[in-house]
Structure 1
Amino acid sequence: MAFIRRVRTKSGATAVQIAEYAAGRQRILKHVGSAHTEAELGVLLARARELLEDPGQGVLELGVDPQPMATGLARPAREASLLDPVPVAPPAVRSSPGRVVGRDSRVLFEALAAVYAQLGFDALEDEVFASLVLARVVEPTSLLDAARVLADLGQEAASYKTMGRVLARAKERGYRDQIATACFEHAVASGDVSLVMYDVTTLYFEAEKEDDLRKVGYSKERRVDPQIVVGLLVDRNGFPLEIGCFEGNKAETSTIVPIIKAFQARHEVADMVVVADAGMLSATNLRQLDEANLRFIVGSRVTKAPIDLASHFRWHGEAFTDGQVIDTTTPRTGRNSDNDVLVRAEPTWDRTEHPGSWRAVWAYSAKRAARDHKTLTLQENRAKAVVAGEKAARTPRFVKKNGGDTVLDEASLARARRLVGLKGYVTNIPATVMPAGEVISSYHDLWQVEASFRMSKTDLKARPLFARKRDAIEAHLTIVFTALAISREIQNRTGLAIRNVVRQLRPLRSATVAINATSQTFPPQIPADKQAILEAIHHGRLTH
C-alpha cells in the first residue's frame, strides 16, 4: 500500500515522497517536492494526499475538502503482478494550486498583546484602542496609516472613522485614568512607588495658529511652532505613572504640583519622595510640596553654591577632594543666618531649628570638574572670538557690555571656574532619615524619566502632533502613555531597547496558505535567540 514519506535532505530541506513497501523494502513511486519552510511543507503534504486519498475517505488532515476525481474508462480485470506500479489516483480537481496568500508578523503582535493584557489594560474592553496602542509600539505613524501597520501584523484594522471615534471614546470613558490606575497597581506589585521622578517636555504641532491649548512658548529647540507642555511622572525604573497636558506657554515650574496632587488624589498616596531636576527649583514649588506632606529631592543650581558653601570657602578655601560630600543648609529664599560663616562646622538641617532653610547636599567629583573645565574653556574661547569681532553670534556666556564695548566678563568666568565639579541637591528629608549618599543616588535615578521622554519622542514619535481639538490631543497622549508603559515593561523584562525587540521579532513572518478555497496559517520557524526574547517578554528577564 502506498504511503507518504518525509525525508530530511543534506541541504536541510524536507523531501515529500510517495512510496510503498515491496518485498520488505520501501520503493519510491513519486517525488512530490522539497520544502524549506513550514508553509511549503504544508502545500506539498496536501499535494501528496491528493495523489493518494480516495474521495470517500472524508476530510483531509489539513482541513482541505477533497474534490470529486475523474475516474476515466475501466480496464479489463486481470491478475495483479508484483511488478505492476501501485495504482495512484489521479489528482483532485482544484480551483487553484496551493499558494501563499499572505505573510505577516502576528508573532510580534501576539507578544505585545500579551503584555498589554498582563498590565491590565484589557480591562478597557476596547480592541480598536488596543490595536492603535500596539501599532504605535511597532511603527509610530498617523491614524490614517495605522491600518497598514496592523495589516502587516496580521490584524484586520477598523475603518478610519471608527479609529476616530475611539479618540472621542477615550476621553468620554476616562481611559487615561484607568490606564494610570493599572500602571500604579503594576508598579506597586513589582516594586514600590515610595520614590517617583518628574520631568517635563514640549510637543509641537504642524500648525500656524495658536488656540487656548496650543501656544508658542519656551522651546529648548528654539522652535516657534505652537506647542503644549507635557509633564510625566515615573517610578524609579522609568515605568510611567501619570501624564499631564498644559498650555504651551505655561512655565515648567508650575506643572509639577498639579501632576503630583492628581497622582496623590487618584491613588491616596501620602508617603513618597518626589525627585525633579533644577528646572523645578522654585520657592513656591518646594513650599507647596512640603505643605502637601511630600518629601522632595530637587537639583540645585550651581550659582547657589557660594551661599550654601560660604563656611567651607572661608575655612577650607577652594580645595575639594574627589567624592567629598558636604551636608549643610540652603536658604528657602534670599539669604539668612542659619549657616553662620564664623562657625567652622556645617549646620545639620532641622525643620524646627531652621524654618527658613532646606537641607542642601553638595558633592564634588574630579571627573565632573574635568568635564566642566573643558566646557568652560570652549565657552571662554567663543566669548573671546565674539569680543574680538571674529565671530558674529548671539551674545554668549561670559560676554558683557562695558561703556558700549563688548568685553569678556572675567569675574563671572572666574566665579564659574571656582565652582567646577560641584553638584547640589535640595531636600526636606532629614539626615537621620536619608543619608547624603542616598539623596545623591536617588537623584541620579532621574535619568529614567529622561529616558522615558526620549522613548516617547523617538521610538513612539509622540511629536509632531497633527490633532487640532483638545480631546483628540488628550487621546493621542493617552495612546502614547499606554504604549510607553508597554515599551518600558518589555525593556525591563528583556534588557533590550524596544526598537531592538521590534527589529528582531518583526521579521518572524507567519504564512497563510490557500488550497481549494480554504486557508491555513503556518507559524514561522523561530531561532533560539528570538525564542529567548519571546520567553522573556512573556515570563521575565532575558538571560544572556
Structure 2
Amino acid sequence: MPAKTRHIGAMHVVTNRIRRGEKEYTATLLRRSYRQDGKVKKETLANLSHLPAEAIDAIRRVLAGESLMSADDAFEIERSLPAGHVNAALIMARRLGLAELLDPRSSRDRDLCMAMIVSRVISPGSKLSTVRSLGQSTLASELGVEGVDEDDLYAAMDWLYERQARIEDRLAKRHLNVGEMVLYDVSSSYFEGRACPLGKLGYSRDGQKNLPQIVYGLLCDKHGRPVSIEVFSGETHDDKTLPAQVRKVKDRFGLARVTVVTDRGMVTKANIETLTRTEGVSWITALKAPTIKKLVRDGIFQPSLFDQQNLGEITDVNEFPGERLIVCRNPLVGAQRARKRTLLLDATEQELAAIKTRVDKGTLLGSAQIGLAVGPALKRFHVKKHFDIHISDMEFTYQRKQEQIDTEAALDGFYILRTNHTAAEVPAGDVVRTYKNLEQAERAFRSLKGPDLQIRPIHHHLENRVRSHVLICMLAYYLTWHLKAAWKPLLFTDENRPENDDPVAKAVRSPEAETKARTKQTTDGGTAHSYQTLLSELATQTRNRTRLAGRTDTFEKLTQPTALQAQALKLTTNAPVVIK
C-alpha cells in the first residue's frame, strides 16, 4: 500500500483550561489545522506546558510571522549618563524655588548659574572642570545648557554677582523673623595665584601660611541655613567684619529686633559698643581666655565655687556694665585639655632633654648654637610659655613653670558667655544653648571647604568673580543643607536629637542614632550612608539613549530605581521646605 500522505497545515499554539471540581488545569499545546476530504481536521503536535512562559510566547510570535532576535541585536545603547543624583538635586532646587531666588525672570544666564550651583553639589570643581562635567551627567540637558564653555560661565557669574544683594534679601525674608537669632562666623580660604586684589596674606585657617587668602563672613538662621555671605580681603581681622553684618541685618533685611550670636573672635570693645548703640540688636558671645584670667586675678571669678555646679552667673559692673556673664564648666572638656597639655609638655620636655644630653656631653656648645637647637623644640608644641630656660656657652637647663601650669589648669573646662539679654528675656540655660548653636555655622564651613563643595583653592583673578564664586558655593550649601535634612532617615545623621536637660553637658544622641552607628543600618534595616556615598548611589541610576536596530531614531529611558534610590527621591519630593 502507498504511504499515507501527511498533510502539513497551519500551526498554532492553544491554551486549554479544564476545571475539575475546585481545581483548574492548564495545558498549552502546539497544534495544526488542515483540510481533508472537505473537512477541517486538527492535530496536536506537541505539549508545550512544561516550557517557560517566555518560550511559549516566542513560539506563538514566530508562528504569527514575527522575526525574533536577541535584545542585543534589537537595541543598541548609544550612551548612558548618570542621572539619579541630578534628578534629586533638581527636584529639591525646584521645590525651594532656587531659580526664582536668583531672578524671577527666566534667562540663559539664570540657567547657567543653576547649572553651576547644582554641579557644585554633585561634582564640585573648577569652572573648566564644570564645563566638562556638565556633559558627563544629565545636568546639561535637563537645564538646556549643552555645549557651554568657560566664557559662558564667567559671563553668568558676572550676571549673578549683580544680583547678590537681592538674592540675600529674598533668603532673609524667607528665614529671618523679627526677634530671632542670627548666627555669624568667619572663615578663610586660600588662592592659587597672586593677581586678585582680595588675596592677601593673613591668619590662615587652612594651614597655608605662605599663600594669599580671602576672608568671608557667613550669616545663617538659627537652624544653620545660609542667608548671606560677604567676602573681605585676606588680611582682614575677624572683628572688622562684624559691623557690616549688623548694618546689613538692620538696614537691608529690616529686622526691628534681632539677636546676633557670634564667636569670641569678634569681641572687641568697639564692636560691643556698636552692637549696644544699635537699637533692637541684642547679642550673645563669649570672653577670650586673657579676659577670663583677669577676672580670676581680680577675684570676680573664683573657679573653686564651681566644683559642685557647672552653670552660674557673675557680674562685673566696672568692665561689663549692663551685661550678664554666664560661667559654664564642662568636666569632659577640662579633662581633654588636661590630657593634651600633659602630652605637649612631655613631648617638649623629651626634646629638651635630648638637647641637654648633647650639651652635657660637650657635642653641642656655645649659647648661640644651643639656642638654635632649643628654639624649634620650644615652638613645635606651642608650650614655650610653660618653661624656664637658661642657656650659657657650656650649660643648658630647663624646668617647668609649675605654678603657672597649675593656674592655667584650674580653668580647664571653663568658658564664660556674655550677653546684654536680661534673665527675664533669656534664662542662663537658653543663653548657653543659643551660643552652642554656632556649631551650625561651623558645620557650614566644613561642608564648604570639605568634599561636599570644595570652595578652595580659589583660582579667579577678578574681585567680582571671586565674590560670585563664593556666592555660588553658599547657594550650593543652601541646596545641600536641605538635601541632608531630607535624607536624614538614610544617613548616619541623628533624626531626632534629644535636647539635653543640662545645657552645658555634652550633647547626646538618640537611641536610634546610637543603633545606626553600631549596626551601620537605618531604622528600617537598610544600609546607612554618608552624604557622599548616598550621592554616589544615586548616580548609578542612569538615563540611556537607545537606538532600534536598522533605524536612526532613538529614545531615552531611565533605568528602574533601586529601593534605595526610590526612597531617596521620595524623601526629596516630600521633605518640608520654607517658601515665603
TM bin, normalised by shorter chain, reads 0.7 to 0.9
Counterpart secondary structure, 2:125: coil
| 1:512 paired residue among 545, 563, 567 | 545
| 1:444 paired residue among 417, 436, 442 | 436
Q: TM-score, normalising length from structure 1?
A: 0.74
Q: Which amino acid aligns with 1:524?
A: T
Counterparts of 1:2 and 1:127 in 2: how far apart (Å)? Answer: 58
Q: Which amino acid aligns with 2:340?
A: T
Q: In the alignment, what sits opposite 2:158?
A: 168
TM alignment of 1:135-534, pairs within 5 A: 135-154=119-138, 155-156=140-141, 157-160=146-149, 161-172=151-162, 174=163, 176-188=164-176, 194-207=180-193, 209=194, 211-220=196-205, 221-293=207-279, 294-308=281-295, 318-321=304-307, 323-330=309-316, 336=318, 356=321, 358-385=323-350, 387-388=352-353, 390=355, 392-395=376-379, 396-397=382-383, 398-399=385-386, 408-458=400-450, 459-495=452-488, 496=491, 498-515=531-548, 516-534=551-569
Q: Which amino acid aligns with 1:417?
A: A
Counterparts of 2:54 and 2:129 in 1: how far apart (Å)? Answer: 40
Residues 243 and 87 of structure 1: is their aligned pair in 2 closer, same or farther, counting only changes over 3 Å?
closer
Deviation, 1:102, is 1.5
Counterparts of 2:76 and 2:172 in 1: how far apart (Å)? Answer: 48
Residues 290-344 of structure 1, C-alpha deviations (whole Å, 9 max, x = no match): 2223111112223333444578778x7725235421212246xxxx3x7xxxxxx
Q: Which amino acid aligns with 1:255?
A: T
Residues 441 and 103 of structure 1: is their aligned pair in 2 closer, same or farther, counting only changes over 3 Å?
same
Q: TM-score, normalising length from structure 2?
A: 0.70
Deviation, 1:192, is 8.2
Counterpart secondary structure, 2:135: helix
Counterparts of 1:97 and 1:462 in 2: how far apart (Å)? Answer: 47
Residues 380 and 251 of structure 1: is their aligned pair in 2 closer, same or farther, counting only changes over 3 Å?
same
Q: Which amino acid aligns with 2:422?
A: P
Deviation, 1:413, is 1.2
Residues 291 and 446 of structure 1: is their aligned pair in 2 closer, same or farther, counting only changes over 3 Å?
same
Q: Would you say the 8 A contact 1:234–1:240 is kept in 2?
A: yes
Q: In the alignment, what sits opposite 1:537?
A: 572
Aligned residues: 455
Residues 532 and 406 of structure 1: is their aligned pair in 2 closer, same or farther, counting only changes over 3 Å?
same
Deviation, 1:21, is 9.0
Gaps of 5+ in 2: 1-10, 16-28, 33-41, 356-373, 392-396, 492-529
TM alignment of 1:84-123, pairs within 5 A: 86=63, 88=65, 98-123=75-100
Residues 2 and 361 of structure 1: is their aligned pair in 2 closer, same or farther, counting only changes over 3 Å?
farther
Counterpart secondary structure, 1:456: helix
Report percent identity of matched pairs. 19
Counterpart secondary structure, 2:424: coil
Counterpart secondary structure, 1:197: strand
Q: Would you say the 8 A contact 2:189–2:214 is kept in 1?
A: yes
Q: Would you say the 8 A contact 2:179–2:257 is kept in 1?
A: no
Counterparts of 1:183 and 1:498 in 2: how far apart (Å)? Answer: 24
Residues 20-58 of structure 1, C-alpha deviations (whole Å, 9 max, x = no match): 997899979x99989xxxxxxxxxx9xx9xx97xxxxxx
Q: Would you say the 8 A contact 1:217–1:224 is kept in 2?
A: no
Q: Would you say the 8 A contact 1:128–1:158 is kept in 2?
A: no
Counterpart secondary structure, 1:440: helix
Residues 164-209 of structure 1, C-alpha deviations (whole Å, 9 max, x = no match): 211121123x1x2233234324425xx88711211111111111x3
Q: In the alignment, what sits opposite 1:76?
A: none
Greater shift, 450-459 or 393-402, is seen at 393-402
Q: In the alignment, what sits opposite 2:494?
A: none
Counterparts of 2:308 and 2:536 in 1: how far apart (Å)? Answer: 43
Residues 395-442 of structure 1, C-alpha deviations (whole Å, 9 max, x = no match): 332345667676533343121111112111111111121111111111
Counterpart secondary structure, 2:377: coil
Residues 448-481 of structure 1, C-alpha deviations (whole Å, 9 max, x = no match): 1001000000110000001001111111111101
Q: Would you say the 8 A contact 1:387–1:399 is kept in 2?
A: no
Counterpart secondary structure, 1:393: helix
Residues 26 and 448 of structure 1: is their aligned pair in 2 closer, same or farther, counting only changes over 3 Å?
farther
Q: Which amino acid aligns with 2:554?
A: S
> What is the alpha-carbon root mean square deviation over aligned residues?
3.7
Gaps of 5+ in 1: 6-18, 35-44, 53-84, 339-353
Counterparts of 2:220 and 2:453 in 1: how far apart (Å)? Answer: 17
